[in-house]
Amino acid sequence: MFRFFSGNKNLFALKPRFMLSAALALCSGFAQADIYRSLDPATPTKYTNTLPAEGRWELYLKEKPAPVREEPAYDQRRFTVDGRSRYASQIQAAAMANNVEAALIRAVISAESGFNPSAISKAGAVGLMQLMPETAMRYNVSDRHDPGQNIQGGTQYLRDLLQMFNNNLHLAIAAYNAGEQAVMKYGNRIPPYRETLAYVPKVMKFYKRYNASYASAEKTGYKRLSMASRKKATQTRVSRTYLPNPA
């Protein structure tokens, strides 16, 4: 819910410094805290932290984005993808069932929970892929703490996001974090939210590392396949062609 400054005459008697402080205080906690001022004297709401679709407004105060903290260097062992790695069978099953790359599933799990099945966010997201109650209900996940169910539900959501955004990997990842409505609101572009702007490159970094590990495992033959899998070699690793991220 957005908060507004009312068109109170006393508001304009306040000192500019106090007005700026009040604006920032009201907008704290939002992903974007720019303040807009109405140019129409008849408008009852004079200040708002979201740009209305109607009326004449000007940017009154723009908050400088916080610097994005770079991810530390990770031990290559973290990106092991052989059959002994954590939740390998559940991830592979979800990848095959939903035509989503296992490398992408692992990347999202790494960013969302760090492979902790007991992770719970302040917003109420639960499990390896941090499913919200609504998302779990949509994909028939009865126990979000169960790794297999959680991975299946999260992967189904990724599958639908990839279809929704025409295999644009960056937009699908952004939508997983901010929601598909947020991506569509900003014209099918990554929403300018601090968390999302940091989340997308973080997942992409993990994805590239896992993708390289899968490719290396296949070349060295380290990944052992059953005879049935060998007969269906084209199905052992899902591959997608992604569209470039819009500028």
Same domain for 92 and 213? yes
Same domain for 213 and 142? yes
Residue 66 in domain: no
Asked if residue 80 lies in contact with residue 88, where contact means CB atoms within 8 angstroms, the answer is no
At 57-110, the pLDDT tens digits run 777 776 665 554 444 444 444 555 555 578 999 999 999 999 999 999 999 999
At 34-71, the pLDDT tens digits run 677 788 877 766 767 666 777 777 777 766 655 544 44
pLDDT of residue 239: 54
Same domain for 176 and 55? no
Overall average pLDDT of the 154-173 stretch: 97
pLDDT of residue 39: 82
pLDDT at 156 over 60: yes
How many separate domains does the chain show? 2
Domain boundaries, position 93:
76-235
For the question of residue 112 being annotated catalytic, the response is: yes
pTM assigned to the model: 0.62
Same domain for 102 and 161? yes
Same domain for 97 and 204? yes
Residue 193 in domain: yes
At 177-234, the pLDDT tens digits run 999 999 999 999 999 999 999 999 999 999 999 998 888 777 666 444 444 443 443 3
Percent of the chain with pLDDT over 70: 62
112, 134, 195, 218: the active-site residue: 112
Q: Which residue has the higher pLDDT, 28 or 148?
A: 148
